[in-house]
């Protein structure tokens, strides 16, 4: 018991320091262009399962979410995508990372995903790239981009999935990135 508490304490200390640093600074808001350009994949689908596991070096715990892909708007994906977010619980130890996106089995989502140095795909912008898709096919998320007077996208919130697909496709065509 004491050994497990000590392990949790050793993992909790760095996480608390990171949390304090995160609270001391503002999270930079990514523009739609930055989110699209910096994402390897932009896909829609349903979360079908979740599990937590150690990274290959057995240093950090990552929670994995399997996404059954219904449409890919940028990049090339298989029928499923493994989204990994830092944190979770495994072997009696827990790790919490502030800003990590969470998913639930059954959620319908549209996500912008970036490749991490460890090879995992993670939600872009510390959760800014996760949008829930409602039964009417409209997206709702943390990053509230809107369209300004010049026609630049500054919100996706409330748009249809089809509108988002068109915007992502236009951005990819314009920049020639990640077709």
Residue 157 belongs to a domain: no
Residue 118 in domain: yes
Q: Which residues of the chain have pLDDT under 70?
A: 1-27, 142-154, 177-179
In a domain, 14, yes or no: yes
pLDDT of residue 26: 56
10-44 pLDDT tens trace: 555 454 444 444 444 456 777 888 889 999 999 99
Q: Convert the pLDDT of each residue in 46-57 to its tens digit.
A: 999 999 999 998
- Domain containing residue 109: 2-29+40-134
In a domain, 121, yes or no: yes
**Phi/psi of residue 40, each to 5°?**
-75, -40
Q: What's the predicted TM-score (pTM) here?
A: 0.78
Q: Is 136 helix (H, G, I), strand (E, B) or coil?
A: coil
58 inside domain:
yes
Q: What angle do CA 23, 25, 26 make, to 5 degrees?
A: 100
Please tell me what DSSP assigns to residue 25.
Answer: S
Would you say residue 34 lies in a domain? no
Is residue 91, in this structure, part of any structural domain at all? yes
Residue 172 falls inside a structural domain: no
The count of structural domains within the chain is 1
- The CATH number of the domain holding residue 46 is 2.40.50
């Amino acid at each position: 018991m004491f050994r497990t508490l000590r392990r949790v304490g050793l993992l909790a200390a760095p996480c608390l320091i990171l949390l304090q640093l995160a609270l001391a600074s503002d999270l930079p808001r990514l523009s739609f262009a930055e989110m699209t350009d910096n994402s390897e994949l932009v896909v829609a689908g349903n979360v079908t399962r979740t599990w937590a596991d150690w990274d290959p070096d057995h240093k950090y715990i990552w929670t994995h979410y399997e996404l059954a892909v219904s449409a890919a708007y940028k990049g090339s994906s298989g029928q499923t995508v493994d989204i990994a977010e830092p944190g979770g619980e495994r072997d009696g130890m827990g790790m919490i990372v502030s800003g990590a996106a969470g998913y639930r089995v059954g959620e319908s989502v549209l996500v912008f995903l970036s490749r991490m140095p460890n090879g995992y795909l993670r939600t872009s912008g510390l959760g800014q790239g996760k949008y829930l898709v409602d039964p009417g096919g409209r997206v709702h998320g943390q990053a509230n981009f809107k369209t300004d007077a010049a026609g630049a996208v500054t919100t996706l919130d409330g748009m249809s999935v089809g509108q988002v697909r068109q915007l992502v496709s236009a951005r990819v065509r314009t920049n020639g990135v990640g077709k």
